[in-house]
Every structure is written in structure tokens, then in C-alpha cells.
């Protein structure tokens, strides 16, 4: 398992009975987590005194209950090698989210090292790029990044994070677009990228109502992406929060489509350390291909 254990401003304090108790900077949140199927005592004081609690409804969805939480706040990430580090603007919004998936820091550390050590210009394409965690990590490591997401609001949020991280003038191209259609146009234009990151949702809609269902569309998209990979590609990363896409599935799919490239694939669960138990909370899976030296 790949563990995001370099955080100072974030931690999972405890998790039990379908919920996790988290510290985001100076604020403590309680949020649901479907992986937390165990029933251990909620003995930590913070369970009863969070700054906000997201309650899931039995009918689907849910809502926030706020006690003492600002509309927006910041946390920082610095793994010791990212210069001044990254700054993220957080706010509670629909369906329990805050605008950041902290477990992805395990991948940021991995590909940032590859970019820094490449000793050449690296062009990165980040698809389904959300609020820009991977975009900022790649840019901070020295890459030129194309950031694509179907949500105008998410792209605006990512730009705010770039400004807060001191990356306002970094070589980042911000695009609101359907990811599949964008890749198809890049094929026609003949554009190439040295690295591709994708974090596709299980289900979603594009800016013009295009339907995305990951089980049906992920493999065709990977096939398309191989047509815009440069001949000396550096890495390829797929993140999955869909239970049906186990690490072995990601490995098989990536290895099949990148078989003509000189590299190797490894896929694992990604996770976060839990302070009170000393155990690891699983948070999805990632498939990583990287070029052989």
C-alpha cells in the first residue's frame, strides 16, 4: 500500500461506525466513509466536539451540521522537497467533500521526484483534475501542466489554489472541457505529453451533459491517451475510487496499452495513517507506469 504520511496539516485521528474523525489544519471534521465498517469505541474527545459533521441521509446524499467552522480556510503540504510547498483553500461543499483528497499526496511525492530527476522539460496532462492537487505538485516540481476538468467551478478553485501556492505564473494551462473530447482533439492536433494523470469519477457528466461511467469508458480513454504520449514518456497515473477497479485491474489495463513503451507498472491501494489506532485507512487505488531508466 502507498501511504500519504508526510502531512503535518492533516490527519485521520480515528475512524469507526462508518465515519472518520479528521483534523484539517486547526479544524476537526466528522465525515462518512464507506470503508469504515468496523465498530470500535468512539472514545476520542473530538468525536463529541467537532467543528462540523456531515450526516449521510438514508435516502441518499446528506447535509453538513456546522458548529464552529469558517466558510473557507487553508492547509499546507510540504514533503520537504517541494520548495515552499503547496497551499489549498478548503470549504465544505456538496456530498461531504472539502475540495481535497489528502491520500493523493502519496502520488504527488512519487511523480514529483520523477519530474525533478528527469533533467529535461516535462509536459504533463492532468485529466479530471478537480481542484488541482496533482497539477500544483507537478508544476512545483518543474513541469509544464495542462489541467482539464469539466467543471468551471473546480477549475476556478484550482486557480485559487495555484495563487495561494505561489504558482500563479507557473506554466499551467487551465481548461474547462470534457476530458474524452479534449484528448480526441489533441490526437488530431498531434500534441504529445510526457506524462498523463487521470482521476476519473465513478459517474459524472461533462459540460454539455456527456455521461461518464468509469467501467465502460476508462479503458477506451487509456487507449486514446496512448496516442498523445511522447515516445520518451516519463509516467502514467490512474487513480480509482471505484470498488470494481481493483489494483490488479489497473495494472492489467495499463500494461496492455503501454506494452510498446519501455517501462513497468505497479498498482496498489492508497491509504492514510490513523493516529489513534496506528493502522491504515484504505482510500482507493492507483496504477502507476513509469519509464525504465
Q: Is residue 196 part of a domain?
A: yes
Q: Is residue 91 part of a domain?
A: no
The boundaries of the domain holding residue 284 are 102-291
For position 203, what pLDDT does the model report?
66
Q: Is residue 146 part of a domain?
A: yes
Strand, helix or coil for residue 23: strand
Task: Please indicate, yes or no, whether the overall pTM of this predicted structure exceeds 0.85.
Answer: yes
Q: Is residue 256 part of a domain?
A: yes
| CB-neighbour burial class of residue 287 (10 A; exposed 0-12, middle 13-18, buried 19+) | buried
Q: Distance between CA 233 and CA 196 in Å, rounded? A: 9
Q: Is residue 121 part of a domain?
A: yes
For position 27, what pLDDT does the model report?
98
6 bridge partner residues: none
Whether 14 and 50 have beta carbons less than 8 Å apart is answered as: no
**288: phi then psi, degrees, rounded to nearest 5:** -120, 125
Counting the structural domains of the chain, the total is: 1
Residues belonging to the chain: 293
pLDDT, tens digit only, all 293 positions of the chain: 999 999 999 999 999 999 999 999 999 999 999 999 999 999 999 999 999 999 988 877 899 999 999 999 999 998 555 556 899 999 998 789 999 999 999 999 999 999 999 999 999 999 999 999 999 999 999 999 999 999 999 999 999 999 999 999 999 999 999 999 999 999 999 999 999 999 987 766 666 666 666 666 789 999 999 999 999 999 999 999 877 778 999 999 999 999 999 999 999 999 999 999 999 999 999 999 999 98
Q: Is residue 116 part of a domain?
A: yes
Whether 69 and 92 have beta carbons less than 8 Å apart is answered as: yes
**140: phi then psi, degrees, rounded to nearest 5:** -65, -30
Q: Is residue 135 part of a domain?
A: yes
Q: Distance between CA 172 and CA 252 in Å, rounded? A: 31
Supply the CATH number for residue 190's domain: 3.40.50.150
Q: Is residue 247 part of a domain?
A: yes
Cell of 54: 456531515
Amino acid at each position: 500500500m502507498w501511504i500519504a504520511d508526510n502531512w503535518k496539516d492533516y490527519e485521520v485521528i480515528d475512524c469507526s461506525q462508518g465515519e472518520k474523525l479528521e483534523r484539517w489544519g486547526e479544524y476537526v471534521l466528522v465525515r462518512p466513509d464507506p470503508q469504515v465498517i468496523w465498530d470500535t469505541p468512539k472514545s476520542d474527545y473530538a468525536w463529541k466536539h467537532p467543528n462540523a459533521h456531515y450526516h449521510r441521509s438514508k435516502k441518499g446524499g446528506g447535509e453538513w451540521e456546522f458548529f464552529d467552522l469558517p466558510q473557507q480556510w487553508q492547509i499546507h503540504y510540504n514533503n520537504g522537497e517541494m520548495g515552499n510547498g503547496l497551499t489549498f483553500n478548503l470549504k465544505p461543499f456538496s456530498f461531504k467533500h472539502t475540495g481535497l483528497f489528502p491520500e493523493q499526496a502519496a502520488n504527488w511525492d512519487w511523480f514529483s521526484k520523477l519530474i525533478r530527476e528527469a533533467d529535461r522539460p516535462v509536459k504533463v496532462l492532468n485529466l479530471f483534475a478537480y481542484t488541482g492537487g496533482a497539477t500544483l505538485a507537478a508544476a512545483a516540481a518543474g513541469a509544464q501542466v495542462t489541467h482539464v476538468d469539466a467543471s468551471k467551478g473546480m477549475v476556478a478553485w484550482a486557480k485559487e489554489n495555484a495563487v495561494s501556492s505561489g504558482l500563479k505564473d507557473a506554466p499551467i494551462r487551465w481548461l474547462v472541457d470534457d476530458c474524452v473530447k479534449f484528448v480526441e482533439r489533441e490526437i488530431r492536433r498531434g500534441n504529445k505529453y510526457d506524462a498523463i494523470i487521470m482521476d476519473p469519477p465513478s459517474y459524472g457528466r461533462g459540460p454539455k451533459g456527456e455521461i461518464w461511467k468509469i467501467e465502460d469508458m476508462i479503458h477506451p480513454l487509456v487507449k486514446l491517451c496512448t496516442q498523445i504520449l511522447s515516445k520518451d514518456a516519463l509516467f502514467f497515473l490512474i487513480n480509482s475510487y471505484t470498488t470494481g477497479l481493483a489494483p490488479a485491474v489497473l495494472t492489467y489495463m495499463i500494461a496492455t496499452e503501454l506494452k510498446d513503451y519501455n517501462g513497468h507498472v505497479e498498482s496498489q491501494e492508497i491509504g492514510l495513517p490513523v493516529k489513534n489506532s496506528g493502522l491504515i485507512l484504505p482510500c482507493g487505488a492507483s496504477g502507476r507506469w513509469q519509464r525504465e531508466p
